[in-house]
Structure 1
Amino acid sequence: MKSKLKLHGFNNLTKTLSFNIYDICYAESPQDLQAYVEYINQEYDAERLTQILTDVVDIIGANILNIARQDYEPQGASVTILISEQPVTPTDSQIEESPGPLPDTILAHLDKSHITVHTYPEIHPVDGIATFRVDIDVSTCGVISPLKALNYLIHQFDSDIVTVDYRVRGFTRDIEGKKHFIDHEINSIQNYLSEDTKSAYQLTDVNVYQENLFHTKMLLKDFELDNYLFGDATNNLSAEQRAQVTERVKHEMLEIFYARNMPA
């Protein structure tokens, strides 16, 4: 492993992790679709999201300065946490390209950051498809990459599709005055995912190394229709209907994964 970079003053690099998590379901009636949205609003309300982000703060060893949270009508929630600056000396495990810890193995630290989460339940007007999207942004300034929070966050949501973006901006100087536009090695966001996650998803990378831009898309491999049914649909579908719903749900997932409308 390369020796640690010796800096002149504070590390001024800004590292931002943004990712979107999608959960898909099918409900047979408008009433069940609405019940799904209400279930999501209760399961991932502002209080629950605050706890998840607070766990992230614990993982990265920061201090909370302020929490702003809001549940919305008729649906959705948002939480923003401002975290204090806290100079640290990083360990090798905190800066190497590897999965971050889960809550029972808190190792990482952070200089300063903000963390935000927003939820977006959505219902298809015709096809009985409901989609729950979670947008999470973790932005840090200092030695620790927010990618260390990725492993934990993915394990907190039932994710059918995940899109992850990571970028590094600004520059910092070493003790000889030379600019450094990134201070850690990274080949792929995938290297920050645990083995069980990588084996469960189809993974695709689009990276622009010279611009310090990294993008990974994830699509759940195993498809079991019963995991996507909500309400009366769990019991009332015939074999023919199950086949139709399977095709419909898979089509929805592929459109989200490839970010384009596809022919039916």
Structure 2
Amino acid sequence: MSEKLKLYGFNNLTKSLSFNIYDVCYAKTPREQRDYIKYIDEQYNSERLTKILTNVAEMIGARVLNVSSQDYDPQGASVTILLADENMRLAKNDEVEDCVSSKTVLGHLDKSHITVHTYPEYHPETSIATFRVDIDVSTCGEITPLSTLDYLIGNFDSDIITMDYRVRGFTRDVSGRKLFMDHKITSIQDYIMPDTLLNYDAMDINVYQANLFHTRMLIKEPELSNYLFNTDIYEIPPKTRLEISNRLRREMLEIFSGTNVF
């Protein structure tokens, strides 16, 4: 499947990537916790998220048709971008040239989009604050979102990452034979740079018969100084540093495993 497939008509495969990252931070006092939430809201407001998703659209060769963004009170932001395959040329009356019906276009537009939502949170008793980003990319046609993974990982402080990829529908080759997959994949990790993977422990749960792929990644060697919000590590006694490190690692392991393991 390394060569480009010769298809009959439009590629009807729908490819969906769900990308979730978690950033964990130690914020001891209520003021530090509030300041962390404020910092996250400023760093990842709807304007910056729109720029990130627009770059994602360009990377996968999609045309941005519409952008909707919103910042929320007290915290959080979301962005939705409607996409079209660059191979689809839209006329001013929203009809498609090149022998593709307008009904097909509407279906295509409904299937091709990028969304992002942010979820900052903290608990006053644990002194642990977390920031979650959910990005969903759904494409129809030749577009595949997997090539954007390194870019997405690099644009967020990614301590824990969960990714789901699925392919639905079918297209046909010129002889009429159904094709339920138009590209080679054994794992989502195949589309992540080796240098990036070196920083994480990763595990897969794949259902090949159903074209379902799931990967989880956990940062290997977190440095405590990177997880202290507005606190100098040298102001903390060694014993307290160890306690904080254990608390942060516990939080990461529970998020990674999806269960309260302690």
The TM-score with structure 1 as length reference comes to 0.87
Task: Name the SS of the counterpart of 1:3 in structure 2.
Answer: coil
Say whether residues 1:151 and 2:179 are aligned partners. no
Structure 2 partner of 1:114: 113
State the distance in 2 between where 1:132 and 1:29 align. Answer: 17
Structure 2 partner of 1:142: 141
Structure 1 partner of 2:188: 189
Letter in 2 for 1:253: M
1:28·1:233 contact (CA, 8 Å) conserved in 2?
Answer: no
Say whether residues 1:17 and 2:13 are aligned partners. no
Structure 1 partner of 2:131: 132
Letter in 2 for 1:45: N
Structure 2 partner of 1:104: none
Task: Name the SS of the counterpart of 1:207 in structure 2.
Answer: strand
1:83 deviates by: 1.3
1:236 deviates by: 3.8
Structure 1 partner of 2:8: 8
In the TM superposition, 1:1-264 aligns within 5 A as 2-87=2-87, 113-232=112-231, 234=233, 236-263=235-262
State the distance in 2 between where 1:37 and 1:131 align. Answer: 9
2:116·2:136 contact (CA, 8 Å) conserved in 1?
Answer: yes
Deviations 1:75-113 (CA, angstroms, capped at 9, x unpaired) = 00000001123328xxxxxxxxxxxxxxxxxxxxxx862
Q: Which runs of 5+ in 2 are unaligned?
A: 89-107
Letter in 2 for 1:157: F
1:28·1:231 contact (CA, 8 Å) conserved in 2?
Answer: no
Letter in 2 for 1:151: D
State the distance in 1 between where 2:122 and 2:131 align. Answer: 9
Runs of 4+ residues deviating >3 angstroms? 232-236
Task: Name the SS of the counterpart of 2:36 in structure 1.
Answer: helix
1:235 deviates by: 5.1
1:3 deviates by: 3.4
Deviations 1:154-200 (CA, angstroms, capped at 9, x unpaired) = 11111000001000001111112111111111011101001211111
Deviations 1:25-84 (CA, angstroms, capped at 9, x unpaired) = 001101001100000000000001011111112212222111000000100000000112
Letter in 2 for 1:47: E
State the distance in 2 between where 1:82 and 1:242 align. Answer: 46
State the distance in 2 between where 1:43 and 1:49 align. Answer: 9
Q: Which runs of 5+ in 1 are unaligned?
A: 89-110
State the distance in 1 between where 2:81 and 2:8 align. Answer: 29
1:233 deviates by: 6.1
State the distance in 2 between where 1:131 and 1:34 align. Answer: 12
1:2 deviates by: 4.1
State the distance in 2 between where 1:258 and 1:140 align. Answer: 29
1:24·1:249 contact (CA, 8 Å) conserved in 2?
Answer: yes
Task: Name the SS of the counterpart of 1:33 in structure 2.
Answer: helix
CA gap of 1:160–1:2, structure 2 versus 1, over 3 A, is closer
The higher radius of gyration belongs to: 2
Over the matched positions of the two proteins, sequence identity in percent amounts to 59
Letter in 1 for 2:207: V
2:189·2:215 contact (CA, 8 Å) conserved in 1?
Answer: yes
Task: Name the SS of the counterpart of 1:42 in structure 2.
Answer: helix
